[in-house]
Chain A
Amino acid sequence: MSLKNTTEQWGWLSKLFHWTTALVIFIQIPLGFYADSLKLSPFKLDIFVWHKSLGMLVLLLVIVRLLWRIKNTIPAAIPGTALEQLLAKLAQGAMYILMLALPLSGWLVSSAANFPVKLFWLIPLPAISGPDEALKSLASEVHEICVFALIIILVTHIGAALWHHLRLRDNALKRMWF
């Protein structure tokens, strides 16, 4: 298996990016809802440290992943109608945007809330805004809208992957698998 992508297959680095991001996001979404539901307590603050740490990890992964993608071959589109291919492209683009917008809006909520954090209890995250109640509310709204949008797209994304694999029996899922 090659490091780089080919026109047929995703390279192993792209696969690693895809599946690690997927894993972190699958932890991150329920963790965020859970943290939000908790009454203020030291435990809630710990859960938020995890949520913020993993969120910044996603941001880092996505940035590196995008750079890697730009410098790389993209496997050819899976055969399908023009509409299907357009939708696939839109969903992919939207996922990238959301994977950036979610951690960034979350970072903004944390900063505008005047809440400092050490990622993984090690790395202090600099504030990207001063304390600002209005900005905090706005960023929270954006964060929430983005997570619902991501959930919808992820369901579609997973559904489409399974559809390709189980019904169409093409290599859409296989070429992202190891």
Chain B
Amino acid sequence: MAIIQTGQNRLLALFAKLSIALAAALLWQPLLAADWQSESENSQLNFAASFQNLPIDGRFNQFSVKYTTDQAALPVNLQVMVSVASADMGNMEFNDEIQALDWFNVADHSTAIFTSQQFEIVSQNKADADYIAHGKLQLKGIEQAVAVPFSWRQINHNQVAMNGELSLNRSDFGIGQGEWATGEQIGLAVRVWFDVRMLSGND
């Protein structure tokens, strides 16, 4: 009886050790080449236009971020697709207005795309890092070089928080034309900031 019990205990102990080792391996495994995808429920892409130098906040309700890391967990590709028609400025009149020709011209250019394959490492600490993505933003049919600074913070092995902020000049993309072009009332600088939850495809 005693011998069997000891055997059982040994088996349990071995099992416990294996579990710990397995958990540790899962927790500490280096990040492999991975594809990341934004999780829309936990992601926000905001912008702030301005009137009389006071901010008018808005957001894009539909957008997606795709991100690829190599075996060293460094970014190799970033693609952001934004449904321009989903722009929401908290007011139906604004939302209708900004779809028009003078503003986003949604009828002809419904999607804005940012792509980057060139990443500058600003700082790095294990899996967390701050980068600047040098890429191209295609908006309202106009392509411009844009640098997007962002932070990459691991929440767990397959979830990451991606945050950043930049300023765009709306006149670079012909947004706000005709009598709106001067920027006297509606400022030319538009602040854009994002808080995106990225999920890893490989689990």
- CB contacts (< 8 Å) of B92 on chain A: these are 133
CA–CA, A41 and B177, complex, Å: 11
Q: When the two chains form their complex, are residues A115 and B185 in contact, meaning their CB atoms are under 8 A apart?
A: no
Q: Is residue A73 contacting chain B, with contact meaning CB distance below 8 A?
A: no
Main secondary structure of the interface of A (DSSP, over half): loop
- CB contacts (< 8 Å) of B15 on chain A: these are none
Q: Is residue B179 contacting chain A, with contact meaning CB distance below 8 A?
A: yes
Segment touching A, from B49-57, B121-129, B188-196? B49-57
Contact flag A115-B179 (CB < 8 Å), given A40-B97, A42-B184, A136-B91? no
Residue of B nearest to A40 (CB): B97
- CB contacts (< 8 Å) of A89 on chain B: these are none
- The interface on chain A, measured as residues whose beta carbon lies within 8 A of the other chain's beta carbons, has a size of 19
CA–CA, A156 and B67, complex, Å: 69
Given contacts A114-B56, A136-B91, 17 further A-B contacts (CB under 8 A): A40-B93, A42-B184, A42-B185, A113-B90, A113-B91, A114-B57, A114-B89, A114-B90, A116-B51, A116-B52, A117-B51, A117-B52, A118-B52, A121-B52, A131-B90, A132-B90, A133-B90
* Interchain residue pairs with CB less than 8 A apart (30): A40-B93, A40-B97, A42-B182, A42-B184, A42-B186, A45-B51, A45-B185, A46-B185, A49-B52, A113-B90, A113-B91, A113-B93, A114-B89, A114-B90, A115-B51, A115-B91, A116-B52, A116-B54, A116-B55, A116-B56, A117-B54, A118-B52, A118-B54, A124-B54, A130-B90, A131-B90, A132-B90, A133-B90, A133-B91, A133-B92
